[in-house]
Amino acid sequence: MTTATTTREVEASPLPEDENLLRIGQVMTRMRVMTGRRMIGRLAIQNVAPGLELSHLDVIDAVRRAEGSGEVTVGAIAEILRIDPSRASRIVAEMVARGVLRRKASQADARRIVVVLTALGQRLLAEIQAQKFALIEGIVADWPAEDIEAFSRLFDRFIGGYEHAFQTRLKDTDG
């Protein structure tokens, strides 16, 4: 049995002539490689909950983000992480067994089950944030205050634009 693979030939886009745009693209690649190693998450796990996996940290972050919109369901976690609901359910079950999450009945609809962080989950979240802020503080320690302020504002603006462009392109391909 032979499986045919099709590839589409695409003409390569030329590199930007603006060296600033080129540098931004190159730095984005370097940052992706570094964040792909997930050092902050690995340190947090090592310090608070050895034995957890990085996917567990993704779920903790998804719970933190979803709490702002109300109660957190497995479906909401799956949507935030863009994973299959059955996979999200398995990861949540593992985290409940390890004492990081707890299931409870919804206050709005007792037929629905929601998930919340336990004390261990809260400690793990706090450790992730502490590791992240310690790293950032170390990096900018010798920067002038006005550079830190300008970078934080511009970085937020850049990432906001990046998120918007990504969401717009997703909508265009889904419709």
Q: Tens of pLDDT along 66-105?
A: 988 888 999 999 999 989 999 999 999 999 999 999 999 9
Q: Which residues of the chain have pLDDT under 50?
A: none
The three-state secondary structure class of 55 is helix
Q: What is the pLDDT of residue 175?
A: 57
Q: What is the pLDDT of residue 35?
A: 78
pTM of the predicted structure, to 2 decimals: 0.68
